[in-house]
Amino acid sequence: MKKNPTDRRKFLQRSILGTAGAGLAIGSAYNTLVSAETQDNLQATSEDQVANEVDVLVVGGGTAGAIAAIQAGRAGVKTLLLERNSQLGGTTTTAGVAFPGLFDAWGKQIIAGIGWELVKACVDLDGGKLPDFAKVPQRHWHNQVHVNQFLYALLAEEMCEHAGVQIAYYEFPQKIVATADGWLVDCVGFGTQRRVICKQIIDCTGGAETVGMLNLPRLREEERQPGSMLFQLGDPHNPASGQLNRLYVHGADSTNSRTVTAANLTGRKAILQKVRQQKQRLMHMQPETGVRETYRIVGETIITVQDYTSGRLFEDAVCNAFYPVDLHTKSGVRPQPLKPGTVPTIPLRALIPKNSRNIMVAGRCISSDRLANSGLRVQASCMGMGQAAGVAASLAARDQTTPLEVPLVKIHEMLREHDAIVPGKV
């Protein structure tokens, strides 16, 4: 049943008045939605206090989050994207793994859509070359796509702008409260307090941090895969020409500011040691450790390694995935390739926390066991998840329902409209 717009306006007025009474007054962004009396009460608002009412709030602007936000914007719903760092792209840009894949399997493309559009635009603008997906490579990484990480960040911002997505850097949710038809989210950045009223949340934080704030169940291994700190010694770094050097940061964890600080300090200390030992100039270093593994949600379904390696076609599949089982350990990694012809799929229910409403995830925090996650966590698959989540959340916001209740045929229809490849239709 659809809500009356007047009821929504009254709710917003009550929210703003309640916030002002609690000492967090809201600025002029919603003066047009509140009464003259309420506006008078807000005159003393300082410039560091902001209010937004949106349809979809995407938390995390990395591999999955940027694509989810662009998709939601293109679907015509009002979208806000929060990113705690200074740029979009996450693993591809801040962590420097400017080598996304895999978009193909067994001689054909299996992931396309907005993520592929962004990667292709980056390669085209940089004068690069795309792999020939018609050829099955001897090694899986041969068909990963070299991109210029700096251009990627710029193009992602441009695509957000064209889609009407508002970006808020250096901010993160501090408190989330369920409302009758969505969420009230208090966010904090330095010099900024933001209150967001939204219908849907897409958690693309990597570790399902928004889901954790709501005390919904998550999974985490006692020992996590090492992270990677990327750098280059000696020769200048030529973007999109090859991979950077990598060293493992064991115990890397993105759970909170303390664990991220510890990972970065550990990685930088190790690089400094290499500079001294090898007596070469440090020519490039990424600003942050790339984390492979923290929390995963407990979703409406959990993708098992058997589901993944068998290429199970889920009834509610919304995108494909493809990569070897790729578990990194202290001794390195030995990828376990999938059998010829196998293409795993990702179900909508694995993007939805169990027994939740109006919240989804996309990216490496997808509901899966550890071995399945080691293959699912890579960039192309996360882009596919992000686009699927953007579609489901947009349709749910538009129809004033929750993603799990959106007809699958509508999700598939919109995905195809935006050039995604729907499982079973490769």
* The length of the chain, given as a count of residues: 426
Q: Backbone phi, then psi, for 378, in 5-degree steps?
A: -75, 165
Could you give the count of Cα atoms lying within 13 Å of 257 in the half-sphere of its Cβ? 5
Pairing of strands 296-297, 218-219: antiparallel
Using an 8 Å Cβ cutoff, are 276 and 223 in contact?
no
Alpha-carbon radius of gyration of the chain: 22
Chain segment 155-202, per-residue pLDDT in tens: 999 999 999 999 999 999 999 999 999 999 999 999 999 999 999 999
**How many CB atoms within 10 Å of residue 282?**
14
pLDDT (mean) for 122-133: 96
For 318-375, what is each residue's pLDDT tens digit? 999 999 999 999 888 999 999 999 999 999 999 999 999 999 999 999 999 999 999 9
Residue 142 near residue 102 (C-beta atoms within 8 A)? no
Task: Tell me the whole-structure pTM to 2 decimals.
Answer: 0.89
Check whether 25 has a pLDDT greater than 90: no
Please name which of 305, 319, 267 lies closest in space to residue 288, comparing C-alpha atoms: 267
Closest alpha carbon to 347 in 393, 397, 301, 413: 301
Give the pLDDT score at 46. Answer: 64
- Per-residue pLDDT tens for 38-69? 343 333 346 789 999 999 999 999 999 999 99
Q: 203 and 291 in contact (C-beta within 8 Å)?
A: no
Partners of 229 in beta bridges: 247
Q: What spatial distance separates the first Cα and last Cα of the chain, rounded to whole Å?
A: 36
Of 329, 371, 370, 375, the closest CA to residue 221 belongs to 370
* CB burial of residue 248 (10 Å; 0-12, 13-18, 19+): buried
Block residue for tokens 């749910």: 396
What are residue 311's phi and psi, to 5 degrees?
70, 35
| pLDDT tens for each residue of 85-121 | 999 999 999 999 999 999 999 999 999 999 999 999 9
- Among residues of the chain, what percentage have pLDDT more than 90? 85
Output DSSP code: residue 49: E
Q: In one letter, which amino acid is 156?
A: A
Who's near 95: CB < 8 A, 6+ residues apart?
A: 228, 230, 286, 288, 289, 290, 291
Q: What is the DSSP string of 150-217?
A: HHHHHHHHHHHHHTT-EEEETEEEEEEEEETTEEEEEEEETTEEEEEEEEEEEE-SSS-HHHHHTT--
Residue 285 structure tokens: 């270093």
The pLDDT, as a whole number, for residue 34 is: 37
pLDDT over 80 (residue 37): no
